[in-house]
Amino acid sequence: MRQVDPQKTPRAQAFALWMQAPMPMVTLFQTMDVTRLVKQCKKRNISFHPVFCWCIGKAAARMKEFSLLPVGNCLMQFDRLAINTIVKTNTGAIASCDIPYHKDLPTFYRRYRRLTRQVASTGAPYEAGKDYMVIGTSALPQFPIEGAVNLYAGCFNNPFLIWGKYETHLFQTTLKLSFQFHHTQMDGEHGAKFFSYLQQELHRISLS
């Protein structure tokens, strides 16, 4: 992580406009086609959630906007991505867990299982470190929610995705997804492009 001069980035105007805004977050909603992913996960008896998180990381890695993030009053640049997930601990509480993204799915999947088990067992959150731009996620897989807008506390500017239960229709399985991000980091067009990239990854996912 390193501080950059906003004027030397494509986000100069956005930095001037939105860094001091009382509510600088933008939220987009999208229904994703997860038919292929669900079928492959069931066929190979592996969990949907970690593979979906990997698809999020892979889509984000295609966009330079995810390398910049407003932190405090500064604009910071990151070279690495991590996906955060919420883990239910063995005591029934919840704790957060950062999984460093890796372009190789088996590697990411092993990291996911190891780190989430560690957090569940110890009850202590796991942070990937200051070198990672962390994409937050929260899943409510038991509930068919339409979408969600996350709180904004002013000290957490990371992009955040929330989803609920996927819905199986006659020939298609869909998942409603919300994506919240700081307007300094990206515009609505970038958020929509991220959804497009994520859908592409979901359509071509291959679990060997």
Domain ranges for the chain, please list them: 25-204
How is residue 117 written in tokens? 């088990």
Model pLDDT for residues 99-108, shown as the tens digit of each residue: 999 999 999 9
Please state the pTM of the whole predicted model: 0.95
State the fold for domain 25-204: Chloramphenicol Acetyltransferase (3.30.559)
Model pLDDT for residues 98-156, shown as the tens digit of each residue: 999 999 999 999 999 999 999 999 999 999 999 999 999 999 999 999 888 888 877 78
